[in-house]
Amino acid sequence: MAVFTRHLQKVAQSFFQSDPSYLPEILAVFLGGSRVYKQSVQSVLGSESKQSDYDSIVVVPSKHDIYSFLNDKQRRQLFANVVGIKKEAFVDLEVPSPSSPLWSEFDAVGFAGYDSNGIERSVRVLNLIDIFQKETTNLLCYKDRRIFDAVGPEGKRPLLVQTTYIPHQLVIQHDQWVYVTSPSEVESSFAAFGYMSDLLFTSACIYDRGNYGYNIKKVVAELYFAKSGSSPTLQSFCRHPFFHPTYMNWLSHELNDLYAPLKANTSVPNTKIGNGDFKMFLGETYSTQAVIGLENVLSSTTVVSDETVRQFNDGQIIPLQKHHSLKSASYIAKTQDGVEIFVKQMPFAKDEEYSARLVARFFSRAMKPRIAAKGELLYPLFRGTAKSHIRLSYIRSGYKDQDLERRLLHAEMVQAEDTLRAYRQSLSLARGNIDSADGLPRHSIQKSFYNRLVDDTWMCLHYGQGVKLPGVGHHISLDQLLTLRWRINGECYESLQDAFDYARKLLRPSRHTCGHARWYSDSPVVTSCCRTRSQEKAGPVRSSLPILKIRDFIQ
């Protein structure tokens, strides 16, 4: 213990660049990360060859205190000096004011930057009131990170943290102190620390105005004990393989001090850890109260410039690569000034351009095309990796590549957030929360889908020659396909025509609410936004077309 204590004193001295008592709002400071748990002996001996980052938690009395000293330039600079930040990582960070609709959406703020040696210093500023009153932490920060690590009964598992984009390129990470598995996943429930509580418990309190450090850890310790029925061990923390022996000895004493009173004062037996395996930890679904327009959240939709369109119309391009599909002929081209674009030649180009404008209002990541003089659609060339490519690579790895798994999970979570926001925003149209930007009519999303339903041009274009289904030796005409009923996994469902008819009722312009639509190819498929477990047991709902694996499907 003496060796670790000397190490901790040295690390604390290197962390504080000025006296934290200069800011009376600071109640406690916790320092964790590899500075604390990994380099104990080397640091004491003065041979820190590898400079690791600083990871810390600062606790203040209330959220108003976070707002006051991070939004006031002078006090913010004083705080940066205390935690040793010489250059902020995100200088535009601004905490929403108490009058902002976003005020109730967060209770902590991430503040980060670099010290004079270029070493990153990350500080999570939490407030005491919400620590004692909530089981969650909603961190306002600039980094969009959604996948963390947690420890399950079979070892390390991904921890999925719901995240919400807000204006000014910021996000809110909705974390929980403790995550609990569903009884359906394992034989009995299993608890794990969230990423913030993992950092808290593996950190050492290096500054304390009273007994706040111990009491804060005690609150989270009691919550973990209540949900799991047991106390954590060193193996309960995701970075335990890297713990130095001197640090392990210190942490064991910390855990014993916290949990010995709980064990002595309860007659509840420890919960049996389930033997079943599960894939990941999921938290409770968090819903923001404010409807946030996407145009205020993300950067404007990517679109080719006027100069690029002019050069294309003047023939000042070089075709590079051709692509062909059933829908269109397309190719990649480069302009004289080196701009690469994706060119599509197809019927109904104006329809696609119009639909793209509508979709871009609700999905800001979507690309809007420009129409050239001869009717071609000009898109910016996307050079990134598509989600489908990540999924295919993950499948080819035998579902074993953890990096691909995390990238795929991140992409799925971002898409889910965008879809949920678009759905909530489209529902708010009737309340006038969104103006008619670009001269588009109100209820434009449902109007777009409604037009597709009443005009079967697109349907006939893609499926007019009939459809070939697995297990059927001949093509089925479109008219016949629409009237067939479906049996999927033993469940009978309505015909596509019945579903389309019902969709027309939901999406007709005279209604003041809208359905929720997903785009499958170029055909609208109306689905339910959310189905509860009781609804699943009750069978298919009328307004949804099943997106399921088909076994025996036509009767």
Model pLDDT, residue 45: 39
Instruction: Determine which helix (DSSP H) or strand (DSSP E) holds 518, and give its type and residue range.
Output: strand 517-520
Asked if residue 138 lies in contact with residue 106, where contact means CB atoms within 8 angstroms, the answer is: yes
489: left (phi over 0), alpha (psi -120 to 50) or beta: left
Q: How far is CA 238 from CA 22, 151, 198, in A?
A: 35, 6, 8
pLDDT-derived band at 516, boundaries 50, 70, 90: very low
pLDDT for 52: 77
Residue 511 binned pLDDT confidence (cut-offs 50, 70, 90): low
The pLDDT of residue 203: 96
CA distance 339 to 253: 62
pLDDT at 420: 78
Across 102-106, 444-448, 468-472, which has the greatest mean pLDDT?
Answer: 102-106
Query: Given the DSSP bridges, would you call strands 340-345 and 136-141 parallel, antiparallel or unpaired?
Result: unpaired
% of the chain at pLDDT higher than 90: 41
pTM: 0.70
- pLDDT in the model for residue 167: 85
pLDDT tens by residue, 1-24: 788 899 899 999 999 999 999 999
Mean pLDDT on 73-88 = 95
Percent of the chain residues topping a pLDDT of 70? 75
How far apart CA 237 and CA 223 sit, in angstroms, is 16
Q: What is the DSSP letter of 105?
A: G
Please report the pLDDT score of residue 377 as a whole number.
94
> Tell me, what's the pLDDT at 41?
42
Averaged pLDDT, 211-235: 93
- C-alpha of 372 from chain center: 36
Task: Tell me which H or E stretch contains 402.
Answer: helix 402-427
For 441-451, the pLDDT digits (tens) are: 444 555 666 77
- For 537, the enclosing helix (H) or strand (E) is helix 533-538
pLDDT at position 46 over 70:
no
Mean pLDDT of the chain: 79
What is the pLDDT at residue 328? 64
**Whether pLDDT at 120 is above 60:** yes
Residue 183's pLDDT band (cuts 50, 70, 90) = low
Q: How far is CA 95 from the centre of its chain?
A: 20
Sheet with 155-160, side-by-side order of all strands: 147-152, 155-160, 281-282
Q: What does the pLDDT read at residue 21?
A: 92
Give the pLDDT score at 536.
35
Q: Catalogue all structural domains in the chain, each as residue range(s) with its CATH number.
A: 2-282 (no CATH), 299-380 (3.30.200), 443-555 (no CATH)
Element (H, E) at 122: strand 120-127
Average pLDDT over residues 403-411: 90
Q: Which residue has the higher pLDDT, 348 or 61?
A: 61
pLDDT of 273 > 70? The answer is no
Res 439 pLDDT > 50:
no
Q: Give yes or no for a contact between 62 and 127, defined as CB atoms under 8 angstroms apart.
A: yes
Position with higher pLDDT, 551 vs 316: 316
